[in-house]
A and B are shown apart, each in its own frame.
Chain A
């Protein structure tokens, strides 16, 4: 469903992605691992459409989207939960969620501003605080809001950039359960960037490891032991 072929990208003159190939099948869950600064976030941003690609192609759901604007890709079904969560601090929880439906595809969504009921089943916490400003929520609450917001538009692919960063362990477990639910019950494909190896391992069907802007290893958690790729990740 998502195919990256020979992606290169740069910040000014310094290249951060070199010939990256990556693919995700429908309803598949993939994790992207690597140390800090190897280009994981940039790769996600090129998929979402927030960073330009200098070479290569991005295909999503059978269409080439290499040069489409971010809002067009969102409307095709790419949901994005960025690093730092990207919550609008001065908007309420409800307004943040309603923005999720900005990309709802016409006809596939119940239309208007209604937030689908299954969102609140997944995130009961958000039902209780619809009028609280996004900026005053705790890190864990913001993370749940960011995932819920991405799910409002019923995406085909959910991209998450370090969703456990700076969040207390009990909430991490909760987020793990939510992601498992999104993968198994809602059949949404997931692309996860994660430093926390156990978390990534428990969710992913496949993994890729990045190093200096290239993919250096890929495989399935079932066939490999976390310890075997540990040397690629630790500093």
Chain B
């Protein structure tokens, strides 16, 4: 395997990592941008999605098993998110520190619940047979490069989710409400927009997409009670680097973070790669404290 193939292979891994990071970060960016809420339990939505995907493939067999798993993990995580919004977050509006603490508590409860139900050792989701195998390149410059179908699928899934989300935000009535609330919450309310509903819908949509990320992740790694923790930290970095209120910025940041960690891992260990990533993010926010792309938002100004 030549150098070019190794670099291309790491690039491919970086993009597939970026896909999962992006699916996780989208919900964080949406709820932070819109409601000024930092949801510490967001990583657990990924975990819940992973376990739901595991359960779904146990319940249903055959070619429809995995599509059903995706659906169930989205719906389950979205419902759990809605429950979290209605029972906890809604009552702590305008108190970001209390929200942080409360959702952290929820995150611990969910982790322990998973440990009690499924045990501390991870469970595996067997990829459907149509996702077995990989694209291998045997000749030329990239000879030896192998791209598993599962990872290609995760990238395509992310592109599809991103596309649907863009259409939702730019073309639908609820998307218009979302943009209006983001820009000026009070005015949107005075025009008759039920901002509580907008918050609820957007928040649970974000957790639902994190659930999808969990189902996607379950294809390439075991699902453990703490699986969310390891990804949500990167997702937070993506949100910080990407800036708020811009899908484009979040996407770009996810790609940067994903490619960077995959790239640096070629030369050093995983933990050292994390150190370099953090150092770079800290340097980055010195120069662009509001991220790559920043849109003014009342929600942020008042904070």
Residues from chain B with Cβ under 8 Å of A150 in the complex: 191
Residue pair B191, A89 in contact (C-beta under 8 Å) = no
Interface of B is mostly: helix
- The answer to the question of A102 belonging to the interface, with a C-beta cut-off of 8 Å to chain B, is yes
Q: What is the CB-to-nearest-CB distance from B211 to chain A, in angstroms, rounded to a whole number?
A: 29
For A90, give its contact among B192, B195, B295 (CB under 8 Å): B295
Chain B nearest CB: distance from A52 CB in Å?
A: 13
Beyond A71-B195, A89-B296, is A98–B190 a contact (Cβ under 8 Å)?
no
Name the interface residues of B172-191: CB closer than 8 Å to any CB of A: 173, 176-177, 179-180, 183-184, 186-191
Whether B183 and A75, one on each chain, are in contact in the complex, defined by CB atoms closer than 8 angstroms, is no
Please give, as numbers and ranges, the residues of chain A lying within 8 Å of B190 by CB-CB distance.
48-50, 70-71, 74, 80, 82, 86
Is B123 located at the chain interface by the 8 A CB criterion?
Answer: no
Across the interface, do B296 and A102 meet the contact criterion of CB distance under 8 Å? no
Q: Are B192 and A50 in contact (CB under 8 A)?
A: no
In the complex with contacts A50-B190, A90-B295, A153-B192, A98-B184 CB distance below 8 A: no
B180–A71 touching, CB < 8 Å: no
Q: Which residues of A contact B177 (CB under 8 A)?
A: 99, 102
Residues on the A chain within 8 Å of B191, using CB: 71, 74, 80, 99-100, 102-103, 149-150, 153
Interface residues of B in 124-173 (CB under 8 A from A): 173
Q: Report how many residues on chain B are interfacial, defined by Cβ distance under 8 Å.
A: 20
When C-beta atoms are compared, the residue in chain B nearest to A146 turns out to be: B187
Given contacts A99-B176, A99-B193, A102-B193, contact A90 B183 (CB under 8 A): yes
Residues of A within 8 Å of B, CB-based: how many?
A: 26
CB distance from A91 to the nearest CB of B (A): 6
Q: Give chain A nearest CB distance to B2 CB in angstroms.
A: 48
A198 CA / B180 CA spacing, docked (Å): 35
B192–A75 touching, CB < 8 Å: yes
Q: Are B192 and A102 in contact (CB under 8 A)?
A: yes
Please indicate which of the listed interface residues B176, B179, B195, B296 has the most CB atoms of chain A within 10 Å of its own CB: B176
Q: Closest residue of chain B to A86, judged by CB?
A: B187
User: Residues of B with Cβ closer than 8 Å to A?
Assistant: 173, 176-177, 179-180, 183-184, 186-196, 295-296
- Once the chains are docked, how many angstroms separate the CA of A153 from the CA of B187? 14
Neighbouring B residues of A69 by C-beta, 8 Å = 189, 194, 196
- Chain A residues contacting B180 (CB-CB under 8 Å) are 88, 91, 95, 99
Task: Give residues 92-144 of A contacting B (CB, 8 Å).
Answer: 95, 98-100, 102-104, 113
Least distance between A79 CB and chain B CB atoms (Å): 9
Known contacts A88-B183, A89-B296; is-contact A70 B176 (Cβ 8 Å): no
Bound form: Cα–Cα A103–B190 in Å:
9
Residue of B nearest to A150 (CB): B191
Give me the 5 closest cross-chain CB pairs, A-B, nearest first.
Answer: A103-B192, A74-B192, A86-B187, A70-B189, A102-B192
Are B189 and A90 touching (Cβ within 8 A)?
A: no
CB-defined contacts of A90 to chain B, threshold 8 Å? 179, 183, 295
Contacts of A50 in B (CB 8 A): 186, 189-190
Residues in chain A near residue B296, CB distance under 8 A: 89
User: A99–B296 Cα gap in the complex (Å)?
Assistant: 19
Question: A71-B192, A95-B176, A113-B173 are known contacts. Are A89 and B187 too (CB-CB below 8 A)?
Answer: no
Cβ-closest chain A residue relative to B296: A89
What are 19 A-B interface contacts by the 8 Å CB criterion?
A49-B189, A49-B190, A69-B196, A70-B186, A71-B189, A71-B190, A74-B190, A74-B191, A75-B192, A82-B187, A86-B184, A88-B188, A91-B180, A99-B177, A99-B188, A102-B177, A102-B191, A150-B191, A153-B192
Residue of B nearest to A89 (CB): B183
Closest to B297 in A: A90
